[in-house]
Amino acid sequence: MNNYLIVGLGNPGTEYAGTRHNIGFDVVDAFAAKHGFGFRTERLGEIATGKLKGRSVICLKPGTYMNLSGKAIKYWRDKEQIQNGNILVILDELALPAEKLRLRMSGSSGGHNGLKSIEETLETTEYPRLRFGIGNQYPKGMQVEYVLGRWTETEIPLIKKKVIVATELIETYIFQGIAAAMNQYNKLSITL
């Protein structure tokens, strides 16, 4: 089946906009905008749909808050009859430096609450995920503030460039498959 669900993880609300934790929303926004898909509020989140070279693509920004992301993903997966291998989840990753993207076919939550929710709700770890490195340049004990903080002026140019690269990665995943996208993008170091 040629149906894809592209999910950006984040938290709804203006207070979270532009934070490191919401980079999944930012990537999905950029991907949807590039292809002329407009978002609308639907059940459990914001949805943008369209066709790309005969493939149906649904972009989802869950409205359930990060810790309940799985609920929205399960609803749209079941409604649209999308295979787990055609769900791509985009999330922030502290363990990766800011110049890195890492695409995997499956894996553990790595302590990420959004992935934990998806794992519990879908009852599997077998779905693709794109980890967007946000670095870990924060003082001890300040992880939450860092993750929920906004990008600094010096970080913004690199992050904007990396969002563009991430949209290209999503296209490669849809048109050429996950193995091709992993080979092309996992080794990249994105610099200005």
Catalytic positions: 21
Rounded Cα distance, 110 and 66, in Å: 15
Residue ranges of alpha helices (H) inside 66-191 are: 69-80, 113-122, 143-147, 156-176, 178-185
Neighbouring residues of 86: CB distance < 8 A, sequence distance ≥ 6 = 1, 3, 4, 5
Rounded Cα distance, 8 and 107, in Å: 17
Identify the H or E element spanning 131: strand 129-133
Rounded Cα distance, 43 and 47, in Å: 9
Identify the H or E element spanning 55: strand 55-62
* Matching residue, tokens 């794109």: 130
